[in-house]
Amino acid sequence: MFDDWVFQYLPKIFCGLAFFVNPIFIYMIFTEKSKKFGNYRFLLLFFALFNLIYSVVNVVVPLDIHSYRYCFFLFLKHDWFVEPSEFHFNLLVARCSLVAASYAILLIHFIYRYLAIHNSKFTREKFHLYMTFSVLVFAMYFGVWHAVSNFLMELLTETSFQICFYPGRANVEIKKYIREDFREIYGSDSMDFNMLGALFNEGSEETTFQSWVAVILWSSLSTISIVMFLVLAVMIIKKLNKMAPNASRKTSKFQVELLRALVVQTVIPIFISFSPCLLSWYSPMLGIQLGRGINYIEAMALGVFAFVDPVAIILCLPIFRNRIFRFCRDGGSKLKSAKSSTEQAN
């Protein structure tokens, strides 16, 4: 029962919340004075639209994560795409690639902020080129993760034979390794599902090697992205400190607020949504089997950031936060006035 709640109902609840919050976020962006955000509004729109698309995919393509001894695996659970097929496997990979592509959204925001404080033409007259660049970066992240997980790789052995494999795809050996545990938990045969997975020990040399290759490549993409975030953030802070004596206090304050909002926008998905999932990657390396409760948290965490992030940005930026508080205050005043009028009429 709880399993059904986590994988069938919670994604729909998160999706509903995302479709409630993100349109409000978009409305607030485009009803604010254009001079405040400039072309940055369109990057925030890109971010909000990604949240909506991600929320829908989170419902349509539900993902389950589990670990067993030295192995972890991901597979599609419930609904239309459970049966094993190449199309359904590619949907599984695309679902995971969309999570990886969220790093691209954050990266293009950091790059924009860096260019904006340097008064770059790419944030003004040539913004259409920057948006094209942003779409290409997003596609690159999506494609690289998809390629690491699915595309055919070829390795030359010392005997000059070619070994071909899908580095992130759970092969027959991995499915047999988890078969008994899978049947006990899910009541089904692991051989009947498409899976991404890794087996770090107790397997053949080829399987363990491809598992390490896949996880190292996946981790490298995330690590490089986070390093770039940190480097750009430091460079932005240094530039803002240099600008402070010459820029107006109001301008400097707003730039700092935007950077703070961007940092919050970055921290939430990394620490709230993605970090729990990393446990499923790395704990099997040490033979640590996580409890099913942790798997539930991991599955739930992947759907949270699409509606939490815009709320955090609204609360971090005073111009948005004050509008929300003013709306709530005015709404409360109108409600009290209407109630008083009704009582007097009675």
Q: Domain with 199 in it: what CATH number?
A: 1.20.1070.10
pLDDT of residue 131: 92
DSSP for 167-216, please give it: TTB--HHHHHHTHHHHHHHHSS-GGGS-EEEEE-SSS-HHHHHHHHHHHH
Contact of 273 with 302, CB cutoff 8 Å: yes
Instruction: Show the tokens assigned to 317.
Output: 């930026």
Higher pLDDT, 78 or 332: 78
pLDDT more than 70, % of the chain: 85
What confidence tier does 153 reach under pLDDT thresholds 50, 70, 90? very low
Higher pLDDT, 128 or 6: 128
Structural domain includes residue 333? no
| pLDDT, tens only, 252-283 | 788 888 888 888 888 888 877 677 767 777 88
Given a cut of 60, whether residue 297 has pLDDT beyond it is yes
Structural domain includes residue 58? yes
DSSP-derived letter for residue 32 is S
Contact of 179 with 190, CB cutoff 8 Å: yes
247 CA to centre of own chain: 35
pLDDT of residue 346: 53
Structural domain includes residue 27? yes
Contact of 303 with 55, CB cutoff 8 Å: yes
Q: Which residues of 95-116 are buried (b: 16+ CB within 10 A; e: fewer)?
A: bbbbbbbbbbbbbbbbbbbbbb
Structural domain includes residue 273? yes
CA–CA dist 323, 26 (Å, integer): 14
pLDDT of residue 344: 56
Residue type, 275: S
Structural domain includes residue 284? yes
Given a cut of 50, whether residue 163 has pLDDT beyond it is no
Given a cut of 80, whether residue 335 has pLDDT beyond it is no
Structural domain includes residue 315? yes
Instruction: Provide the CB-side half-sphere exposure for 31 (13 A, CA).
Output: 9
Given a cut of 90, whether residue 49 has pLDDT beyond it is yes
Across the chain, the runs of DSSP E, i.e. the strands, are 63-68, 71-76, 153-156, 162-165, 195-199
Structural domain includes residue 335? no
CA–CA dist 294, 297 (Å, integer): 5
Mean pLDDT of the chain: 80
Given a cut of 70, whether residue 9 has pLDDT beyond it is yes
Note down the domain range covering 166.
1-321
| pLDDT, tens only, 318-329 | 888 888 888 777
The count of domains in the chain is: 1
What is the model's pTM? 0.84
| pLDDT, tens only, 54-63 | 999 888 888 8
Contact of 212 with 285, CB cutoff 8 Å: no
What confidence tier does 162 reach under pLDDT thresholds 50, 70, 90? very low
CA–CA dist 303, 299 (Å, integer): 7
Structural domain includes residue 344? no
